Amino acid sequence: MTRASCDFPERLLTPAPRPGLGRWIQRRDRMAMRSNRSLLAFAAFAALTAVLPGAARAADAARGAELFQLCAQCHGAAGAGNALALAPSIAGLPEWYLLGQLKNFKTGVRGMNPEDTGGLRMYPMSQTLKTDEDIQTMAAYVASLPPQHAAPTLTGGDATRGAKLYQVCVACHGPEGNGNQAVGSPRITGQSDWYLLSTLQKFKAGLRGSYPNAVIMRGMAGTLPDEQAMKDVIAYIQTLSSQTAANAK
C-alpha cells in the first residue's frame, strides 16, 4: 500500500500576497520616518530652549552691568551708596520697586523739586535709559546685587521710643521692615540711616514727588513731630537691620 506523501507543492505553503500589502508597508515606513524626524526636531527644540534662557540671562546681566557703570559713580560698584554723593544703598532692593522709581524719575514725578538735590541728580541719569527694556534690565541687575548693610552714622536715637512710633509703619513696611509689594512699600532694613532721615524729612516737606506712595508717605511722615522722633524710629529700624544681617549669616 503506497503511503500518502506529505510533500505539498511550494505554492501551497507560501501565503499569497494580500492585495495592497506593498502600499501599506510603504505607507508605514513613511510614517515611521516622519515620526523619527518629528522626534529629532522636538529634541533639538528642547535642547535649544534649555540653552537660550541661560544665554539670555547672561546677556541681560552683561547689559545691566554696562548700564550700571554710570550709576556706580554715585552709588558705588557694589551699590552700597555714598553719603557724600547723596546716593543711598540700592543693592538688592526689590526689582519691582527699582523699576517703579526709575520710571518715576524718568517721567519727572520724582526728582524735579529744586530743594531735592539728590533727586535732581537722578532725573538726568534716568534719561540715559532710552528704552523700557533698558529700565527693566537695570532694575533686574541692581536687584541681583547682594544687599549692603550700612553701618549706623546717626546718634541720639532711642530705639525703645522708636518701636512705638514704628507701629504706624507696620501696615505697609511690615513688622520686620521687609516691605510689601502689594502696597508699593520697599524694604527699609539695611538702608543707610542718614538716607532714611533725609527721606522722612523730604516726605514730610512734600519734596519727594507726586506719585501715589509719596502722597501717602507725606501723611505718615507727618505723624513724626520732629527730627528726634525720626531718629528714634530710625534707631528702631536699625535694630531690625541688625537682626536681618545676623539671620543672613
Residues 6+ apart with CB under 8 A from 111: 104, 105, 119, 120, 121, 122, 123, 126, 209
What CATH number does the domain located at 149-249 have?
1.10.760.10
Q: How far is CA 91 from the centre of its chain?
A: 11
Q: Where are the domains of the chain?
A: 55-148, 149-249
In the predicted structure, residue 150 carries a pLDDT above the cut 90: no
- HSE-up of residue 59 (Cα within 13 Å, Cβ side): 8
Query: Which residue in the block uniquely carries the three cell numbers 558705588?
Result: 76
Residue percentage of the chain with pLDDT more than 70: 74
Residue range 55-148 forms a domain whose CATH class is mainly alpha
Residues 177-201 have pLDDT tens digits of 999 999 999 999 999 999 999 999 9
Matching fold, domains 55-148 and 149-249: yes
The pTM is what? 0.74
Please, which pLDDT band fits residue 59 given cuts at 50, 70 and 90?
Answer: confident
Which of helix, strand or coil describes residue 188?
coil
Residues 6+ apart with CB under 8 A from 101: 110
Residues 194-243 have pLDDT tens digits of 999 999 999 999 999 999 999 999 999 999 999 999 999 999 999 998 66
The Cα 47–Cα 155 span in angstroms is: 58
pLDDT for 52 equals: 43
Query: Which residue in the block uniquely carries the three cell numbers 507696620?
Result: 170
In the predicted structure, residue 147 carries a pLDDT above the cut 60: yes
The Cα 174–Cα 169 span in angstroms is: 7
